[in-house]
Amino acid sequence: MTIKAYVYDAYGTLFDVHSVTKKAELLFEAHGKAISEEWRKKQVEYFMLHQLTGRYIPFSEITRNALLYTLKKLSLQCNEDALDSLMEAYLELKVYEEVHNTLHKIQKNDVKQVIFSNGTYKMLEPLVKKRELTDVLDLLSIEDVKQYKPAPGAYQYAQEKLCVNRDEILFLSSNFWDITGAATFGFKTAWINRGSLPLDVLGVKPHYIFSSLNDLLNEKELHS
């Protein structure tokens, strides 16, 4: 198999969205975990609904709106300073422990490595810079095409920007909805199944299932 581009989802794949829990806990004692989990759940639901109804707004607004809903659902009083502090946490997400080693080793193989995310450039650029990944990763955002993944138009945009065939792209995500969209479009896919979850019953099977990005380095077929 000839792979010319490794395309990574950002949130949940390279960056741990639940690393916001610590700041949430500081602001709302005993509620950090619940805030993180509901926030992410609502964030995904909101961008899906915006895509389905054709009402695009930037991912930063979706993320803030999802946070507002979460705090209301949990009956937590919040001022603008606390909101801004939690939103700032999305610019400081931690990377999973194997990310740096894996991406730097793959970079030696002279292939493209790109983040392709629903996040805006203003959300992604400081995050990639803070986590010292600018030397190995380029950035693509659906902000350019205003179609949220898993819409086919989003993946088509990424392919056109990369100037390679669909089956020369390995798309990696921890989110099965994203794997479903990418595989249906025609990308090779690798599901980063960190939670050892069963396959969703959607008629889609990833080309690879990895427990972490470390497994990417051990897959001989990709490096032959």
Indicate the DSSP class of residue 17.
Answer: G
| Cβ atoms 148, 44 nearer than 8 A | no
Of 9, 138, 144, 167, the active-site residue reads 9
Residue 9 annotated among the catalytic residues of the structure: yes
**H or E segment to which residue 153 belongs:** helix 152-162
Indicate the DSSP class of residue 114.
Answer: E
Indicate the DSSP class of residue 82.
Answer: H
Instruction: Report d(CA 50, CA 62) in Å as an integer.
Output: 9
Cα pseudo-dihedral 219, 124, 63, 55, rounded to 10: -90
Instruction: Report d(CA 145, CA 16) in Å as an integer.
Output: 25
Indicate the DSSP class of residue 96.
Answer: P
**Residue 18 CB neighbour total at 10 angstroms:** 16
Instruction: Report d(CA 58, CA 60) in Å as an integer.
Output: 5
| Cβ atoms 119, 15 nearer than 8 A | no
Phi-psi region of 203 (alpha: psi -120 to 50; beta: other; left: phi over 0): left
Residues marked active site are found at 9
